[in-house]
Amino acid sequence: MFRVIFLIALLIPFSYSSTGNLIVKVYNLDGKVAPQNTKVLLYDDKGNFLEDSFVDSEGKVTFYNKPSGYYTIEVYQYSSLTIFWGSERVFIPSGSTNTFSFTRKEPYLLDISLSSSSIALGEFVEISITLRNPIKEGKEVYVKWVMDRDKNLPYDFELTSGTVNLKDQFTYKFLFKPLDIGLYYLLVILYSGKVTDVSEWVKTLKVEVKPLKIDVKTDKVTYELGNDLKVLGKVDPVKENNYIFIQLLDPDNKTISSSKILPNFNGEFSLTLLNFNRDMKEGKYTIIARYVDVSSNYKFNYFYRLEGKEVFLKPENFELKENTIYVKYKNRSSFSREVIIYLQIKDLKGTVVSIAGIKKEVEGRKEVDFYLNLNLKAGEYKAESFLWEANTLSPLAEKGELIFVIK
């Protein structure tokens, strides 16, 4: 009986499965499941392509009934270009399912920025492209970037960078100077053997003709006998090989000097035009600067001081009358001046107890006066008077002082 049972057992085939299943769950670098335009390709251990499939809404793909053994998977995302996310060697066990999690591992574009979103024709914009390698293992990478106005071939401009060994993070910097106006779009493609990332047309640059502008001024508001006249200014934008023409008009609007100068690469310019002498009239002068088809002007003053004396001396009068301080100055030049008169009252401790000031235009050879009504306690005080040029706040006379007593 035993022999019969044993013989029957030998004749019944032994049931054993030598195949298995593979489930691949694909994740992006932010931890989210891969979008459904992501495909997983399966190769045998000899590199022969077997099968591929797009991931489902859960970022998952399943390969059924594969002979047990080692395989290679490759992951790609399909957009305007095919983007390689990486590969991995996996094992399919006999009679069971291996669930494998795959996270994107190829270098990617971390950040793309422009130094400005709008520039004038003829100006440069700096493009910064930052790359990151998520696995910190050195990989040879390079980028290709394109600037174009209609996003179609032929492109307005394209450039391929040099190769770098990317171990963690790296930033490329490029300068771009558009040759025409319009709205430009930026496309960046990252390569590491294959395309590993693409920016699409995400950044824009507006290029337009910038209105030409020129500014001019002098290094002083008021000049005196013997001073050098320095003219300075700026043009924007710079037009290559175009001169700035400088014209100086005297108080009678007669041209007394003409010069020309080229701006530097920043559009700035400066030159010393002349030295003021006694043959030049006192009064308001005008600088006119012309560049291409625009111009600008600036007015300034010139007078000469009397020999050995200031235009204003100490106050002509500085006195107290019935609780009111009076001060008077005389303009000894024939040139009108805009001045500030400032009065302050101090007690014996040096504490300022009252102040007042006024701005006035003083005609040539004329006097200017000012007064301050006092409301002080009995005691001894000191009044101080100051005279400044209104535009520059430079002193025009010696400080006046008056000691007085309030009873």
The per-residue pLDDT for range 235-280, each reduced to its tens digit, is: 988 888 999 999 999 999 999 999 999 999 999 999 998 988 878 8
Mean pLDDT of 110-138: 93
Residue-wise pLDDT for 72-88, tens only, equals 999 999 988 999 999 99
The topology under which CATH files domain 213-302 is Immunoglobulin-like (2.60.40)
Q: DSSP of 15-66, one letter per residue?
A: ----EEEEEEEEE-TTSPBPPTTEEEEEEETTS-EEEEEE--TTSEEEEEEE
Task: Give the tokens for residue 84.
Answer: 């390689």
Q: Is the peptide bond before 67 cis (omega within 30 degrees of 0)?
A: no
Residue-wise pLDDT for 143-154, tens only, equals 999 999 999 999
Bigger pLDDT: 214 or 395? 214
Bigger pLDDT: 73 or 3? 73
pLDDT confidence bin for 4, thresholds 50/70/90: very low
Degrees, nearest 5: CA angle 215-218-219: 125
Residue 3 predicted with pLDDT over 70: no
pTM here is 0.57
Q: Which helix (H) or strand (E) holds 5?
A: helix 2-11
Q: Report helix, strand or coil for 10.
A: helix
What's the half-sphere exposure (Cβ side, CA atoms, 13 Å) at 230? Answer: 6
CATH of domain 14-103: 2.60.40.10
pLDDT confidence bin for 125, thresholds 50/70/90: very high
Q: DSSP of 219-230, one letter per residue?
A: S-SEE-TT-EEE
Task: Give the tokens for residue 243.
Answer: 């001169």
Q: Which CATH number fits domain 317-406: 2.120.10.90, 2.60.40.10, 3.40.640.10, 3.40.50.2000?
A: 2.60.40.10
Q: Which helix (H) or strand (E) holds 212?
A: none
Choice among 1-5, 225-229, 286-290, 331-335 with the minimum mean pLDDT: 1-5
What local confidence, expressed as pLDDT, does residue 323 receive? Answer: 87
Burial of 316 from C-beta contacts in 10 A (0-12 / 13-18 / 19+): middle
Question: Could you state, in order of their start, the residue ranges of all structural domains in the chain?
Answer: 14-103, 108-208, 213-302, 317-406
Mean pLDDT of 349-359: 93
What local confidence, expressed as pLDDT, does residue 311 receive? Answer: 67
Share of the chain above pLDDT 70, in %: 93
Amino acid at 121: L
> Are the folds of 108-208 and 213-302 the same?
yes
Q: Report helix, strand or coil for 130.
A: strand
Q: Which CATH number fits domain 108-208: 2.40.50.140, 2.60.40.10, 3.40.50.150, 3.40.710.10?
A: 2.60.40.10
Burial of 66 from C-beta contacts in 10 A (0-12 / 13-18 / 19+): middle
Bigger pLDDT: 202 or 233? 233
